[in-house]
Structure 1
């Protein structure tokens, strides 16, 4: 006869397996992002001509942001200084953005076969007329496994890979894609530094406002 202790252990194991499977399915569903979802996430916020809280940003602030973006156009990812990377992060903080779980081959900048569809959906999204005229940041991030220099280099090469794919396969202008790598310095989940959620590509729409009547 099975003891109560044995039944409890079996129940715990079964429950644990069920929860693990549920989490896996949820992650898989999150990764199956569509072009429409990406467009919606990156959609610029309309400017309003009213005197409400939604009024346009200060012209001086807008001019400063435009100046930063213009300086970054056509810059090589590895040429960016630490200060410039932080400047991009500060600029992107309040802009429309989306994190994409784009996986690469181990210790490589080659996009994994399983993630090709996500990159293709990104290409469709950035080609959408709703995002026409925007400049995007493509930021590579790693988890905390490995040294800082290694992860920094890897994140930069992976960001470059995404840019190259988008320009070659979808004809997106290279000047409209600002690539930057952050290595393991900006973890999505600092409480779980080795978690796969930290290995991601973040896309940010720097032109977060469009004129409307």
Structure 2
């Protein structure tokens, strides 16, 4: 049998190039996947902008065309906030949860896609950057001292009671992390669970977007403990 050194060398080179190409492709694919995963993590600046309170005039004469503050409504809202401040998540009644849900509709808010370990309230390692960014934002002088609602939501998988319990435990987990890691006053964080009752995407009840933690600025530094 006649050997062809040149042909063998060429074949070896081709195989080497193919191997390198496959490795590069795998590496780029992994990097792309990591980049996509990190896209879900928010920054401190993004949270600060989302939760920044809107400046509203106190009287109609101060500004034309802007929403006005109703003193009676503001007082009633303050009473509700004071009623739930410092309460344990599980102590909130259904009616109180709905009162909170109604109050936050027009407040500055942000939805964070914070994932947890399966059937657990343990924050996943890939979501820690978002929770840490939240801690830094709530410690910022622009936000510190306000009352914030930390609302846990699930998708529609599983029973109602199961999801309600899970959402409460997960909201508590975020609150506990912020208190222990960033020294935020626990009374300034109202943790509430809504289970599967308030889906972000009701047309896709099992969608990942429904599994979220919503943080809302109640804009009441005057009544919050500093």
Regarding TM over 0.5, the answer is yes
| 1:119 alignment partner in structure 2 | 131
* Runs of 4+ with deviation above 3 angstroms: 24-30
What is residue 190 of structure 1 aligned with on the other side? 202
1:82 partnered with 2:94: yes
Matched, 1:47 2:56: yes
Partner residue in 2 for 1:199? 211
Find the counterpart in structure 2 of residue 35 from structure 1.
44
Report Cα offsets for 1:41-78 as digits up to 9, x if no partner: 00001133613232541100000000000000111101
RMSD: 2.2
Given that 2:155 and 2:195 are in contact with CA atoms closer than 8 Å, whether structure 1 keeps it comes out as yes
Structure 1 unaligned regions, length at least 5 = 1-23
Alpha-carbon offset, residue 97 of structure 1: 0.2
SS in 1 for 2:142: helix
How many pairs were matched up?
A: 189
CA drift at 1:29: 5.6
User: Residue 145 of structure 2 contacts residue 221 of structure 2 at CA under 8 Å; is this kept in 1?
Assistant: no
8 Å CA contact retained: 2:147, 2:221: no
- Confirm whether residue 98 of structure 1 aligns to residue 110 of structure 2: yes
Distance 1:27 1:64, change over 3 A: farther
The 1-side partners of 2:90 and 2:36 are apart by: 32
Identify the structure with bigger relative contact order (alpha carbons < 8 Å, sequence gap 6+). 1
2:3 corresponds in structure 1 to none
Instruction: Compute the displacement of 1:209 (Å).
Output: 9.2
User: Is the CA contact 2:147–2:220 (under 8 Å) kept in the aligned structure 1?
Assistant: no
Asked which structure has the greater CA Rg, the reply is: 2
Q: What residue is the counterpart of 1:146 in the other structure? A: 158
Deviation at 1:30, TM superposition (A): 4.3
Q: In structure 1, how many angstroms separate the alpha carbons of the residues matched to 2:220 and 2:54? A: 6
1:163-200 per-residue CA deviation (whole Å, 9 max, x = no partner) reads 00000000000110001000000000001100111000
CA distance in 2, matches of 1:116, 1:62: 35
Distance in 1 of aligned mates of 2:182 and 2:165: 25
- What TM-score do the two structures reach when normalised by structure 1? 0.83
SS in 2 for 1:41: helix
8 Å Cα contact 2:147/2:188 also seen in 1? yes
Distance 1:130 1:161 in 2: 24
Q: Quick check: 2:43–2:133 contact (8 Å CA) kept in 1?
A: yes
Pair 1:157-2:169 in alignment: yes
Structure 1 residues 72 and 208, CA gap change in structure 2 (3 angstroms): closer
Moved more, 61-70 or 130-139: 130-139
